[in-house]
Amino acid sequence: MTCAEEPVNAEEAIEQLVADRSLKRIMVIGASDAGKTTFAELLLRRMEGESALVDLDLGQSHVGPPAMLGWGRWSQEYRSVDEIRPERLFFVGATSPLANPKAAIAGAAALVSDASDRAERVVIDTSGAVEGSYARHLKLEKIRVTRTDGVVALERGGELEHITNAILHGRLAPVLVLPVAKEAVPKPARERSAYRHRRFAGYFASACLMRLPLEGLEMMAFSKQDSLFEGGRLIRGLLIGLADRVGRHVGMGIIEGLDEEANELIVLTPVPRRGKIVAVLPGRMLLTPAGKEERLRRR
């Protein structure tokens, strides 16, 4: 695979990518609604052997709920990537990687490594964050930590040049530039928000209250600012991640309260079996069980 001087036909690109068996990990990048997930699915449909999708799009996720990264095995029997069952999840606690970049990068590395150990080829779908130096740095770091073998850049009009040039300059991976398909129409912000709302609501539809003893409960945080408390008070409605004894993120919860007498944290979550939860990860957003997002403002 080499850098394309001119954009090529998507069908030819897919044939080229599938035929090159040295490309074990292929990352698809592009702005919002550039058709990244559609292209990733087309790739998976053409691949032979065990293949997997790593979903790094926190806001418009398909493998797992929003605010979590996930990966799952692809089956040719699936009608779409929405049928992929998560093999592993990673809690970031925000619907944009720019809101928690350390977690987003760590999660990308962990999931791609795990998927690569269990599938012959891995397709990596990404978020639409592509504007500015911050987004560029984030994309470059993800390519580095995932040891991506090839990058597909879906571009409308030069918006990815600052990223693709940096990839090639740093010799991180070969890049194939393709034009965004005519069928890929940008969605209004309210439609994207409604999608997250439905995904969150669906995730918490079967949630129940869980009591977690604070004694022995580990706090896993990516920053000193991450906490369950603000000004000494519990942050009700805070989205949190739940981890098991081996450090795997098994799901999410919403803080409902604190039983001071019993010294227990009360959490709303669909995750079963309280006994396997030994750690929590503070998120960076507030959420209602119905899926309504609220911004978390810390002092």
pTM of the model: 0.93
pLDDT at 70: 98
Which residues have C-beta within 8 Å of that of residue 67, sequence separation ≥ 6?
58, 91, 92, 93, 94, 95, 200, 239, 252, 283, 285
**DSSP letter (8 states) at residue 85:** P
Cβ(200)–Cβ(287) below 8 Å: yes
pLDDT tens digit string along 38-85? 999 999 999 999 999 999 999 999 999 999 999 999 999 999 999 999
- The torsion angle over the Cα atoms of residues 5, 7, 9 and 13, rounded to 10 degrees, is 60
**Tens-digit pLDDT profile for residues 133-162:** 999 999 999 999 999 999 999 999 999 999
- pLDDT score for 32: 94
Give the dihedral sign, CA 147/152/157/158. positive
> Residue 7 has what pLDDT?
44
- Cβ–Cβ under 8 Å, residues 40 and 81: yes
The rounded distance, in Å, linking the Cα atoms of 143 and 60 is 20
What is the pLDDT at residue 231?
Answer: 87
Q: What pLDDT shows up at residue 298?
A: 72
Full pLDDT tens readout for the chain, 299 residues: 544 444 467 888 999 999 999 999 999 999 999 999 999 999 999 999 999 999 999 999 999 999 999 999 999 999 999 999 999 999 999 999 999 999 999 999 999 999 999 999 999 999 999 999 999 999 999 999 999 999 999 999 999 999 999 999 999 999 999 999 888 888 899 999 999 999 999 999 999 999 999 999 999 998 888 999 998 899 999 999 999 999 999 999 999 999 999 999 999 999 987 668 999 999 999 999 999 999 887 76
DSSP structure string for 231-270: TTEE-TTEEEEEE-TTS-EEEEEEEEEEETTTTEEEEEES
Structural domains in the chain, CATH included, are 10-179 (3.40.50.300), 199-295 (2.40.30.330)
